[in-house]
């Protein structure tokens, strides 16, 4: 795929998102005219851009959509639930067409085409000149393209565009140049609002030389480029064409001069300008009359130097406020463009490469640090410590580059909730908090699907129908909440609903039916609820197309675990349920705490370390201790990993905390903080529990990164099991 | 219109064929009151081709004859759209679901 296409897809999707958000807002607030204009602009931009990359199936489709939006904008049709629904489905179709383009297929599949055609037929019912439909093909008679320019005083003009008037020289074609390609290229500077072809100088057929060029063009171009940029487009043919460029908001008399200077008939040119939207008919008449006055001596009046707007105000054609409002809007628009200009688009893989390099830098820095310390030269140690501080800063800012706000992922769900609640006939609101919480881009990309599952599950299984809710004394409208916040080095995403909660008994029954648990087994409420994460589990009585096929929750959990995250569920029957997803902030580099057992070194993520204490020898046969009145279970790494060697006289406990649970890890040595570049383990180690990855130390040795979460999990499971086995004796056995 | 004569252009409407095509178009027009142009096989059209089409259209109008473009290739349709000349030619433009390229 060429670069232009990939840029189109990326920007197109952004515009599509803007369009969709606009449509969702429109449903809430049908009279917001700015919003309608915004939607139209987004659609128009997509159409224009698809034309540039010559993707006609998108261009054609967007043309229909734009026609409807145009009528909406002009107030010819009104917002209705059906219309916004139709337009949202058009957004979906556009998304599918972009998928086709992205996949590099020459044209959409028959299925997608059929969907597009049926949408077009629906769209046609909203356009006045409904096109006749014959045999699947749609015949469209082009109506007057400049239809919105009326000859009344208040007609539509686009004074904020450049006006470019060009007449190509006779020898252009023979010189091997194609004037059309210049005009097309002009479109890359901005948006061609209107274009009129002027073939008037072409002689009759007998004298016409087909290898000479007789064409001229009048173009309205909306662009942020300067006059020099526009001129540069025509650099190659500068000597061979007549080029006149009028800046935006040009004065009326400048247009009149243009009309006068050009070889074509004044009236004919005037008409062309009116059609292109440069002038209104009234202005033209006025102007030509004023021009006559100019020719009379002494009558050089205000028209000479007043902009069109002022003439209009003077002549009471428009109200001053209207002009001011328009001016104000233009400033707003340019301010917004300035903000956009501060952003730079960077290829994601370039960023990844940078992060990789920073990772190597961190490792190399650690090695230099170690050597400096061994050498004992205080100056060298000092300079390496400055270096490592800078490396740390670089690392942080490099990682910051990858951070994106989760809001974009969340707002997608507005649409999902709207559609699904309509489909299910339930009334559901979505509440989003913490949309500005930042997390790693690669995490954001992968969290969308699991979240989608959870939100759909909440709506499908969680929220009850309105009647049931009323009977239970709740408000008719159910709510689904999406929350995000930071919590000790990880990001927490919650999906909360105020529906019926998870049905404990039903889950248990189902699990017994499926043979997952024995009927005699006693399970705590939490254990029963956790059964929903098991593969093939579903409690829905009927399979809907939303969820209920029993492939949901275990996939959700696996996806989240692949991101080194965890998920849990809390639920109260009758009040609702809460799914909590916990994810690491970044996947690449972390601050680690280096510990040693025997000869091996291990890294514990520093964010999770609470404190370090000495292990008293009197705990030799127990796996828990009393930490200031709290019971602290711990694991002995030496036993867990079966490390040989003499047990040292003094052992230490690193107290770690994860998801509100504390535990201790018993190690030989505490070696201090260490910047850890996470290197994934090979696929053969994928099922290894307790190890999250590896890293390279300054000395070149490999250290394993402990997966604290699974260690804690393993420990608590073991405790619970031994509790059951020993009939709740307050004593636990040695780790086995 | 039974007297309509149909002309199928096989070559691209570019400067390379412009001279031949001008003669062909003008001659064809001279021999009939109503000329139909089939441009469905024209894969490329440049400025020379475009002004030829304008010339023939104008010539036809001047002699009170009819000129209709009965089939557009995507290239032709796109160029006419771009130059805002679709109205000038006033021909129904067929956009089929298959015609995408």
* Domain end call among A562, A584, A606: A584
* Among A138, A195, A199, beta carbon nearest to B95: A138
Under an 8 A CB cutoff, do B94 and A179 touch?
A: no
DSSP of A145-182, one letter per residue? TTTT--SSTT----TTSEEEEEEE-TTTTTTT--HHHH
Whether the per-residue pLDDT at A294 is higher than 70: the answer is no
- pLDDT tens digit sequence for A450-483: 888 888 888 888 888 888 888 888 888 888 899 9
Q: Are residues A122 and A202 in the same domain?
A: no
pLDDT given at position A234: 81
- B30 is a domain residue: yes
- B24 is a domain residue: yes
Radius of gyration of chain A (CA): 35
pLDDT given at position A153: 39
Read off the pLDDT of each residue in A95-110 and give the average, rounded to a whole number: 83
Secondary element (H or E) of residue A242: strand A241-246
Judged by average pLDDT, the poorest of A564-578, A677-691, B13-27, B65-79 is A677-691
HEC sequence for B56-98: HHHHHHHCCCEEEEEEECHHHHHHHHHCCCHHHHCCCEEECCC
Question: Chain B interface, mutation test: which of A53, A199, A212, A272, most B Cβ atoms within 10 Å?
Answer: A199
**Region at A46 (left for phi over 0; alpha for psi -120 to 50; beta for the rest):** alpha
Q: Are residues A332 and A352 in the same domain?
A: no
- A146 is a domain residue: no
Domain that holds residue A456: 404-584
- A157 is a domain residue: no
Contacts of A329 (CB under 8 A, 6+ apart): none
A500 lies within 8 A of chain B by CB: no
- pLDDT tens digit sequence for A166-188: 888 888 787 777 888 888 888 87
Sort strands A630-636 and A624-627 into parallel, antiparallel or unpaired.
antiparallel
- Count of domains forming chain A: 5
Which of chain B's residues have a Cβ under 8 Å away from the Cβ of A133? none
Closest residue in chain B to residue A203, using alpha carbons only:
B55
Write down the ipTM of this complex.
0.85
**Confidence band, pLDDT 50/70/90 cuts, at residue A265:** low
Closest residue in chain B to residue A116, using alpha carbons only:
B97
Q: Are residues A395 and A408 in the same domain?
A: no
Cβ–Cβ < 8 Å for A531, A538: no
**Confidence band, pLDDT 50/70/90 cuts, at residue A342:** low
> Which CATH number do you get for residue A594?
2.40.50.180
Domain that holds residue B46: 5-89
pLDDT given at position B64: 84
- pLDDT tens digit sequence for A308-337: 545 555 544 444 555 555 555 555 555 555
- Across chain A, what does the average pLDDT equal? 76
B48 lies within 8 A of chain A by CB: yes
Q: How far A171 CA sits from the closest chain B CA (Å)?
A: 11
Q: Are residues A253 and A167 in the same domain?
A: yes
- A155 is a domain residue: no
Under an 8 A CB cutoff, do B47 and A179 touch?
A: yes
Q: How far B5 CA sits from the closest chain A CA (Å)?
A: 20
Of A473, A470, A480, A466, the C-alpha closest to A425 is: A466
Which of chain A's residues have a Cβ under 8 Å away from the Cβ of B88? 197
Whether the per-residue pLDDT at A661 is higher than 50: the answer is yes
pLDDT given at position A143: 36
Read off the pLDDT of each residue in B21-27 and give the average, rounded to a whole number: 88
Q: Are residues A490 and A593 in the same domain?
A: no
pLDDT given at position A677: 75
- pLDDT tens digit sequence for A523-562: 888 888 888 877 766 655 444 444 444 456 777 888 887 7
Alpha-carbon distance of B45 to B24, in angstroms, equals 17
Judged by average pLDDT, the poorest of A64-68, A639-643, A657-661 is A657-661
Judged by average pLDDT, the poorest of A76-90, A486-500, A706-720 is A706-720
Alpha-carbon distance of A581 to A587, in angstroms, equals 16
Secondary element (H or E) of residue A110: helix A110-124
Whether the per-residue pLDDT at A141 is higher than 50: the answer is no
User: Residue B40, exposed/middle/buried by CB under 10 A (0-12, 13-18, 19+)?
Assistant: middle
Read off the pLDDT of each residue in A296-302 and give the average, rounded to a whole number: 42
Alpha-carbon distance of A56 to A113, in angstroms, equals 13
pLDDT more than 90, % of chain A: 2
Under an 8 A CB cutoff, do B18 and A51 touch?
A: no
**Confidence band, pLDDT 50/70/90 cuts, at residue A276:** low
Q: Are residues A328 and A181 in the same domain?
A: yes
- pLDDT tens digit sequence for B67-78: 888 888 888 888
* Domain end call among A584, A610, A639: A584
For residues A588 and A511, the model is more confident at A511
> Which CATH number do you get for residue B66?
3.30.750.24
Which of chain B's residues have a Cβ under 8 Å away from the Cβ of A199? 51, 54-55, 58
Q: Are residues A570 and A477 in the same domain?
A: yes
pLDDT given at position A131: 39
Q: Are residues A318 and A335 in the same domain?
A: yes
Under an 8 A CB cutoff, do B19 and A60 touch?
A: no
Q: What is the C-alpha end-to-end distance of chain B, expressed in Å?
A: 32
Alpha-carbon distance of B57 to A197, in angstroms, equals 14
Of A41, A54, A24, A94, the C-alpha closest to A337 is: A41
Whether the per-residue pLDDT at A425 is higher than 70: the answer is yes
Alpha-carbon distance of A59 to A48, in angstroms, equals 7
pLDDT given at position A136: 37
Q: How far B66 CA sits from the closest chain A CA (Å)?
A: 16
* CB within 8 Å of chain A, chain B residues 25-44: 26
* Among A56, A179, A202, beta carbon nearest to B101: A56
pLDDT given at position A155: 40
Under an 8 A CB cutoff, do A215 and B51 touch?
A: yes
**Confidence band, pLDDT 50/70/90 cuts, at residue A144:** very low
Under an 8 A CB cutoff, do A179 and B51 touch?
A: no
* Domain end call among A554, A584, A614: A584
- Count of domains forming chain B: 1
B93 lies within 8 A of chain A by CB: yes
- A414 is a domain residue: yes
Q: Are residues A698 and A640 in the same domain?
A: yes
Which of chain A's residues have a Cβ under 8 Å away from the Cβ of B101? 56, 106-107
**Confidence band, pLDDT 50/70/90 cuts, at residue A245:** confident
Cβ–Cβ < 8 Å for A302, A331: no
* CB within 8 Å of chain B, chain A residues 193-212: 194-197, 199, 202, 204-205, 208, 210-211
Structure tokens of A155?
């007609």
**Confidence band, pLDDT 50/70/90 cuts, at residue A632:** confident
Q: Are residues A397 and A409 in the same domain?
A: no
> Which CATH number do you get for residue A483?
3.30.565.10
- B96 is a domain residue: no
Read off the pLDDT of each residue in A634-639 and give the average, rounded to a whole number: 84
CA-CA-CA-CA torsion for A277, A281, A287, A291, nearest 10 degrees? 110
**Confidence band, pLDDT 50/70/90 cuts, at residue A587:** low
pLDDT given at position A137: 37
Whether the per-residue pLDDT at A690 is higher than 50: the answer is yes
Q: Are residues A169 and A57 in the same domain?
A: no
Q: Are residues A481 and A572 in the same domain?
A: yes
**Confidence band, pLDDT 50/70/90 cuts, at residue A374:** confident
- A127 is a domain residue: yes
Which of chain A's residues have a Cβ under 8 Å away from the Cβ of B87? 142-145
Secondary element (H or E) of residue B37: strand B34-39
Under an 8 A CB cutoff, do A197 and B47 touch?
A: no
């Amino acid at each position: 795929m060429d670069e232009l296409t990939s840029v189109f897809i990326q920007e197109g999707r952004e515009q599509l998102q803007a369009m969709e958000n606009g449509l969702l807002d429109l449903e809430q607030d049908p009279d917001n005219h700015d919003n309608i204009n915004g939607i139209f602009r987004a659609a128009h931009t997509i159409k224009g851009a698809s034309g540039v990359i010559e993707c006609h199936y998108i261009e054609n489709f967007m043309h229909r959509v734009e026609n409807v939006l145009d009528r909406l904008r002009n107030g010819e049709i009104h917002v209705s639930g059906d219309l916004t629904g139709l337009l949202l489905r058009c957004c979906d179709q556009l998304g599918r067409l972009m998928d086709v383009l992205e996949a590099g297929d020459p044209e959409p599949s028959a299925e997608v085409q059929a969907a597009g055609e049926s949408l077009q037929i629906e769209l046609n019912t909203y356009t006045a000149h409904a096109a006749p439909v014959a045999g699947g093909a749609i015949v469209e008679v082009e109506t007057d393209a400049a239809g919105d320019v009326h000859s009344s005083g208040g007609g539509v003009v686009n004074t904020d565009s450049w006006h470019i008037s060009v007449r190509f020289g006779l020898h252009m074609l023979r010189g091997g140049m194609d004037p059309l390609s210049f005009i097309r290229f002009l479109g890359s500077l901005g948006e061609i609002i209107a274009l009129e072809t002027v073939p008037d100088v072409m002689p009759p057929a007998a004298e016409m030389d087909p290898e000479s060029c007789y064409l001229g063009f009048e173009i309205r171009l909306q662009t942020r480029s300067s006059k020099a940029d526009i001129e540069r487009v025509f650099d190659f043919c500068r000597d061979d064409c007549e080029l006149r460029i009028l800046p935006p908001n040009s004065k009326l008399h400048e247009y009149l001069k243009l009309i006068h200077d050009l070889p074509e008939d004044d009236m004919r040119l005037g008409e062309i300008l009116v059609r292109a939207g440069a002038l209104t008919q009234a202005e033209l008449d006025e102007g030509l009359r004023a021009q006559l006055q100019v020719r009379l001596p002494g009558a050089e009046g205000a028209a000479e130097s007043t902009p069109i707007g002022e003439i209009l105000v003077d002549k009471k054609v428009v109200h001053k406020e209207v002009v001011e409002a328009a001016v104000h809007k233009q400033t707003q628009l340019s301010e917004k463009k300035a903000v956009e200009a501060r952003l730079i688009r960077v290829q994601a893989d370039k960023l990844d490469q940078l992060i990789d390099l920073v990772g190597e830098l961190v490792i190399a820095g650690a090695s230099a640090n170690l050597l400096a310390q061994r050498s004992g030269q205080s100056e060298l140690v000092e300079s390496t410590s400055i270096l490592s501080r800078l490396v740390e800063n670089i690392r942080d800012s490099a990682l910051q580059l990858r951070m994106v706000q989760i809001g974009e992922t969340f707002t997608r769900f507005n649409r999902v909730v709207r559609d699904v609640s309509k489909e299910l006939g339930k009334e559901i609101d979505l509440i989003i908090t913490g949309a500005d919480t930042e997390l790693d881009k690669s995490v954001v990309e992968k969290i969308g699907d699991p979240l989608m599952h959870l939100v759909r599950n909440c709506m499908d299984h969680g929220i009850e129908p309105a009647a049931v809710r009323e009977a239970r004394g709740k408000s008719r409208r159910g709510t689904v909440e999406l929350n995000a916040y930071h919590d000790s080095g990880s990001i927490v995403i919650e999906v909360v609903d105020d529906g019926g909660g998870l049905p404990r008994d039903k889950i248990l029954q189902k699990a017994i039916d499926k043979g997952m648990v024995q009927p005699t087994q006693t399970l705590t409420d939490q254990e029963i609820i956790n059964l929903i994460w098991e593969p093939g589990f579903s409690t829905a009585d009927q399979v809907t197309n939303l969820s209920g096929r029993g492939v949901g929750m275990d996939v959700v959990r696996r996806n989240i675990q692949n991101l080194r995250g965890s998920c849990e569920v809390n639920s109260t029957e009758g009040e609702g349920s809460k799914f909590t997803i916990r994810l690491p902030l970044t996947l690449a580099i972390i601050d680690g705490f280096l510990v040693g057992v025997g000869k091996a070194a291990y890294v514990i993520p520093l964010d999770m370390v609470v404190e370090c204490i000495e292990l008293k020898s009197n705990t030799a046969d127990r796996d828990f201790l009393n930490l200031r009145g709290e019971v602290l279970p711990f694991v002995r790494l030496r036993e867990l990993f079966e490390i040989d060697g003499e047990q040292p006289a003094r052992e230490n406990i690193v107290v770690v905390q994860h998801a509100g649970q504390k535990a201790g890890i018993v190690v030989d040595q505490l070696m201090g903080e260490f910047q850890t570049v996470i290197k994934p383990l090979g696929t053969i180690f994928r099922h290894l529990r307790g190890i999250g990855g590896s890293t390279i130390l300054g000395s070149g040795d490999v250290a394993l990164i402990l997966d604290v979460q699974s260690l804690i999990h393993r420990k608590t499971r073991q405790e619970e099991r031994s509790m059951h086995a020993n009939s709740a004796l307050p004593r636990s056995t040695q780790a086995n | 219109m039974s007297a309509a004569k149909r002309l199928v252009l096989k070559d691209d409407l570019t400067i390379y064929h412009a001279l031949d095509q001008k003669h062909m178009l003008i001659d064809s027009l001279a021999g009939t009151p109503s000329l139909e142009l089939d441009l469905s096989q024209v894969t490329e059209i440049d400025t020379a081709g475009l002004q030829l089409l304008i010339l023939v259209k104008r010539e036809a109008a001047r002699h009170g004859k009819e000129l209709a473009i009965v089939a557009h290739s995507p290239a032709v349709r796109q160029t006419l759209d771009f130059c805002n000349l679709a109205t000038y030619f006033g021909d129904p433009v067929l956009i089929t679901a298959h015609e995408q390229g």
